[in-house]
Amino acid sequence: MGAMTLIHTELCDIVGIKHPILQGGMGPYKTEALATAVTNAGALGVISCIGMAATLIPEAAPLDAARLFGSDPPAVILQKSIESVTKKTRTSGGVFGVNVPVAAEFVLASKMFVEQTIESCKADSDTERSLRVVVTSAGNPKPWSVLKKEGFQWIHVAGCVKHAKKAEAAGADVIVASGHEGGAHVSWDPVHSTVLVPAVAKAVKTPVVGAGGFCDGASLAAALCLGAVGIQMGTRFIATKESDFEPMWKQAVVEREERQTLVGRGLFGPMRFLRNRRAEEIVEQTLEDLPNFYLGEPLDSNEKILELERTGFVDLMDEKEDTALMFGGEVAGRIQNIPTTEELINNIIAEASDVIKTLPEKVLK
Ligand SMILES: Cc1cc2nc3c(=O)[nH]c(=O)nc-3n(C[C@H](O)[C@H](O)[C@H](O)COP(=O)(O)O)c2cc1C
């Protein structure tokens, strides 16, 4: 096989990666194994913090953190995760990041995770070289410009043009425009990637990465045509050999068709679930309470949903397919295999370069 034609964009230079692909942060797992594999394959691997904080915030109490993470305090879980990814990516020379959700309910935990990330970089020169990025999501970007002063490349995830402009004003280096077809947290407003990505790319000067619905070379090429400098993928990375997700969850991604996801009320707002009985129960409950949810009723008044989530996480651990809580995007309908992360990324790049090369010949007359 000849040398692969690379796709090189501004994102590669800003972040220091070979391929313009970001792995989305994905709770409830640490995504330590996935982050390692993605980093070694030349894209940006990302450690996910949200599940680590489960013991700290009442909203996340449904998750049995001890079962997933052992008994270490959250900052120590992150510290060890950073150490592990640093060690396992040293030879490849790849770079990785940490995803810190900054939702209002989560903000004390967010501060702790950011402080730990800074500390881990100061403590080890290999970490300082390879942990280059912090990705903040699900909240107000303003307080987090401190990340730039600490020398990180700061990426913020936004679900609409208004929030993207806020991230730009706060000084983010890259903005991820996250469309409604994506897995897990989405906004109530159903603005999908084909509308959102070009709208954000037009509204800000900061480089934009598309998220939501991307899984292959054709969709990477499409994102570049829409004005993005790369893609962030969540659901596609679940179904890889190295990913930390339960085998049942990987299989569910492969089996679901494009209509088999549902949006219901989740921990910090609406979330997109892979369709099963538990997702249907959550949607039924969401619809019953919709007027209150929509108007921002506090989460603790919705005991039934919390109970469905709590037992959904337990059933996930017990591999009960019908009642397990599993998030995932519409793009599950386009995912039919479980490759290694390296195969996946190389195929995406090869396909995208082929699409880009052959398109002019096909359509320019
Ligand atoms: C299982 C799952 C968990 C996720 N958890 C997080 C998270 O903790 N933080 C975050 O910023 N985004 C989270 N996301 C969103 C992803 O980072 C990514 O933006 C999204 O999956 C992109 O859409 P796609 O699923 O169509 O690829 C999650 C997505 C999935 C599927």
Atom of ligand 1 nearest to the CA of 49: 8
Query: Does 327 or 296 have the greater pLDDT score?
Result: 327
- Ligand 1 centroid, distance to 138 Cα (angstroms): 11
d(CA 58, CA 55) in angstroms, rounded, equals: 8
Evaluate: CB of 81 within 6 angstroms of ligand 1.
no
Evaluate: CB of 101 within 6 angstroms of ligand 1.
yes
- Ligand 1 centroid, distance to 26 Cα (angstroms): 5
What percent of the chain is predicted at pLDDT more than 70? 94
Q: Which residue has the tokens 């494009």?
A: 258
Token pair for 261: 């996801």
pLDDT tens string 28-75: 999 999 999 999 999 999 999 999 987 676 555 556 677 788 888 999
pLDDT tens string 240-263: 999 999 999 999 999 999 999 999
Q: Which residues of 27-53 are buried (b: 16+ CB within 10 A; e: fewer)?
A: bbbbbbbbbbbbbbbbbbbbbbbbbbb
Evaluate: CB of 179 within 6 angstroms of ligand 1.
no
Looking at every residue in the chain, the average pLDDT score rounds to: 93
pLDDT at 266: 82
Q: Do the beta carbons of residue 45 and residue 16 sit within 8 Å?
A: no
pLDDT at 356: 97
pLDDT tens string 130-150: 999 999 998 999 999 999 999
> Sheet containing 184-185: which strands, arranged edge to edge?
184-185, 269-274, 261-266
* Closest residue to atom 5 of ligand 1, CA basis: 26
Pairing assessment for the beta strands 174-178 and 208-211 based on DSSP bridges = parallel
Helix axes 107-123, 74-89, angle to 10 degrees: 40
Query: Does 304 or 252 have the greater pLDDT score?
Result: 252
Token pair for 55: 């013991």
Segment 263-278 shows an average pLDDT of 91
Distances (CA, A) of 199 to 48, 136, 191, 202, 233: 28, 21, 10, 5, 19
Evaluate: CB of 178 within 6 angstroms of ligand 1.
yes
DSSP character string of 14-39: HHT-SSSEEEPP-TTS--HHHHHHHH
Evaluate: CB of 198 within 6 angstroms of ligand 1.
no
Evaluate: CB of 50 within 6 angstroms of ligand 1.
yes
* Closest residue to atom 21 of ligand 1, CA basis: 234
Per-residue pLDDT at 293 exceeds 70:
no
DSSP 8-state symbol, 318 = T
What percent of the chain is predicted at pLDDT more than 90? 81
d(CA 204, CA 208) in angstroms, rounded, equals: 8
Evaluate: CB of 137 within 6 angstroms of ligand 1.
yes
Per-residue pLDDT at 109 exceeds 60:
yes
**Residues with Cβ < 8 Å from 334, sequence gap 6 or more?**
215, 216, 258
Atom of ligand 1 nearest to the CA of 138: 11
pLDDT at 53: 85
pLDDT at 301: 52
Helix axes 32-40, 74-89, angle to 10 degrees: 30
pLDDT band with cut points at 50, 70 and 90 for residue 287: confident
Q: Do the beta carbons of residue 36 and residue 45 sit within 8 Å?
A: yes
d(CA 25, CA 137) in angstroms, rounded, equals: 9
Pairing assessment for the beta strands 269-274 and 184-185 based on DSSP bridges = antiparallel
pLDDT at 106: 83
pLDDT at 63: 66
Segment 173-200 shows an average pLDDT of 96
Q: Which residue has the tokens 């969401």?
A: 286
Range with the lowest mean pLDDT among 159-163, 187-191, 193-197?
187-191
Per-residue pLDDT at 322 exceeds 90:
yes
DSSP 8-state symbol, 105 = G
- Ligand 1 centroid, distance to 280 Cα (angstroms): 20
- Ligand 1 centroid, distance to 184 Cα (angstroms): 5
d(CA 253, CA 197) in angstroms, rounded, equals: 24
Q: Do the beta carbons of residue 77 and residue 30 sit within 8 Å?
A: yes
Evaluate: CB of 31 within 6 angstroms of ligand 1.
no
DSSP character string of 144-212: GGHHHHTT-EEEEEESSHHHHHHHHHHT-SEEEEE-TTSSEE--SS---HHHHHHHHHHH-SS-EEEES
Evaluate: CB of 159 within 6 angstroms of ligand 1.
no
Atom of ligand 1 nearest to the CA of 135: 11
Segment 232-240 shows an average pLDDT of 99
pLDDT at 298: 57
- Ligand 1 centroid, distance to 63 Cα (angstroms): 17
Q: What is the CA radius of gyration of the chain?
A: 19
Distances (CA, A) of 92 to 24, 40, 89, 232: 20, 6, 6, 21
Show the domains of the chain with their CATH numbers: 13-253+338-363 (3.20.20.70), 257-317 (no CATH)
Q: Do the beta carbons of residue 26 and residue 49 sit within 8 Å?
A: no
Evaluate: CB of 212 within 6 angstroms of ligand 1.
yes
Segment 7-19 shows an average pLDDT of 98
Rounded to two decimals, what is the model's pTM?
Answer: 0.96
Segment 225-236 shows an average pLDDT of 99
230 beta partners: none
Atom of ligand 1 nearest to the CA of 211: 22
Atom of ligand 1 nearest to the CA of 245: 1
pLDDT at 265: 87
Evaluate: CB of 99 within 6 angstroms of ligand 1.
yes
pLDDT at 304: 86
pLDDT at 10: 98
pLDDT at 306: 83
* Closest residue to atom 10 of ligand 1, CA basis: 25
pLDDT at 291: 72
- Ligand 1 centroid, distance to 362 Cα (angstroms): 35
Q: Residue 45's closest CA among 2, 75, 15?
A: 15
Evaluate: CB of 184 within 6 angstroms of ligand 1.
yes
Distances (CA, A) of 98 to 32, 85, 95, 301, 326: 10, 11, 11, 32, 22
pLDDT band with cut points at 50, 70 and 90 for residue 296: low
pLDDT at 67: 76
